[in-house]
Amino acid sequence: MSHVLGIDFGGTKVAVGVSGSDGPSFLDRVRLDTGERTLPRTLAAARELLGSPAAVGVSNCGVISGGRVRLAPNVPGWEGLELPRLLREEFGSVPVVIDNDVNAAAAAELRWGALRGVSTGLYVNLGTGLAAALVVGGQVVPGAHGAAGEIGYLLVEPAEPGFADGHAPLEERVSGVALAARGSAALGRSVTTAELFERPGAAEGLLDEALGTLAMTVANLCVVLDPERVVVGGGMMGAAGRILPGLSAAIARTVPFPPEIRAARFVDDAPLLGALALAHSASAKANP
């Protein structure tokens, strides 16, 4: 049995896992805090878990473009890092596949989860941030610069500040971080996103507006992509009962051929499972 290695570089934590059989399970795994020397410590932990992997899959919290990490403002020292080169140097001839965390999560859903068997689909991740993965021909579409699906940068109002001004307009309204901040301001006390969904109180209108904006955005994406299925994942799906009905209604009202809507199979460890899915795929291609 070939064993593969998955690494998920998150904003505050790094997870490393080993998988044997082709399925969403771990033979072993370890978590590390980010901080000083994150990459060397992670590679040392990976080697300790599995010295000779058949393939390595890597999920990271930025976009890989031009051989460097881009769009990773929340991880000090990560922007501009030559991660592909450093990983190739570490693992040599072993296949190494790198993608962003949302695309990796979509890869897990494609291989083992709610997108399995889907040719054209859309994966939407509602978490700390906000992003999507586009699936065409049963594969995640990277885009010309690896940045397809970065929907957090979509404009909500025509003249508002955008990417060039240091803003991610949609993400600043709808992401988990944004909802917690906006809800706390509206309620006059600190609340988490989960608490806001459970007891919105005076922030009910704010929550309705944010979910309406999200539903409109996803419906518009469906008009563009014409997916057969939309899968929604991420930490905010603890409030799926509040999120999915409005999303389904907006899609039914707007999209000529409304897709099926499903909750993601994987929420916990989705990017790490995605890294393992990438590794299994690379191993299968290298050893047909």
**Where residue 9 sits, what CATH number does that domain have?**
3.30.420.40
Q: Does 100 reside within a domain?
A: yes
Can you read off the two tokens belonging to residue 255? Answer: 């999209």
Count of structural domains within the chain: 2
Q: Does 109 reside within a domain?
A: no
Q: Does 18 reside within a domain?
A: yes
Residue carrying the six token digits 């929907």: 151
On whether both 175 and 77 belong to a single domain, the answer is: no
| Residue 1 confidence (pLDDT) above 70 | no
On whether both 122 and 252 belong to a single domain, the answer is: yes
On whether both 218 and 237 belong to a single domain, the answer is: yes
| Least trusted range by pLDDT, from 60-69, 117-126, 226-235 | 60-69
On whether both 276 and 230 belong to a single domain, the answer is: no
Do 97 and 146 meet the contact criterion of CB atoms below 8 Å apart?
no
Domain that holds residue 90: 4-104+268-286
Q: What is the mean pLDDT of residues 77-104?
A: 91
Distance, in Å, from the CA atom of 160 to the CA atom of 172, rounded to the nearest integer, reads: 12
Task: Name every residue whose Cβ is closer than 8 Å to that of residue 249 and which is 6 or more positions away in sequence.
Answer: 215
Do 228 and 119 meet the contact criterion of CB atoms below 8 Å apart?
yes
For residue range 134-191, list pLDDT tens digits in order: 999 999 999 999 999 999 999 999 999 999 999 999 999 999 999 999 999 999 999 9
Q: Which has more confidence, 208 or 287?
A: 208
Query: pLDDT-based confidence at 72, cuts 50/70/90?
Result: confident
On whether both 88 and 221 belong to a single domain, the answer is: no
Of the candidates 287, 109, 132, 288, which has an alpha carbon nearest to the alpha carbon of residue 225? 132
Can you read off the two tokens belonging to residue 97? Answer: 């596949």
Q: What is the mean pLDDT of residues 240-255?
A: 97
Query: pLDDT-based confidence at 62, cuts 50/70/90?
Result: confident
pTM, to two decimals: 0.95
On whether both 152 and 132 belong to a single domain, the answer is: yes
Helices and strands, number each (H, E), in the chain: 9, 12
Query: pLDDT-based confidence at 2, cuts 50/70/90?
Result: confident
For residue range 28-41, list pLDDT tens digits in order: 999 998 877 889 99
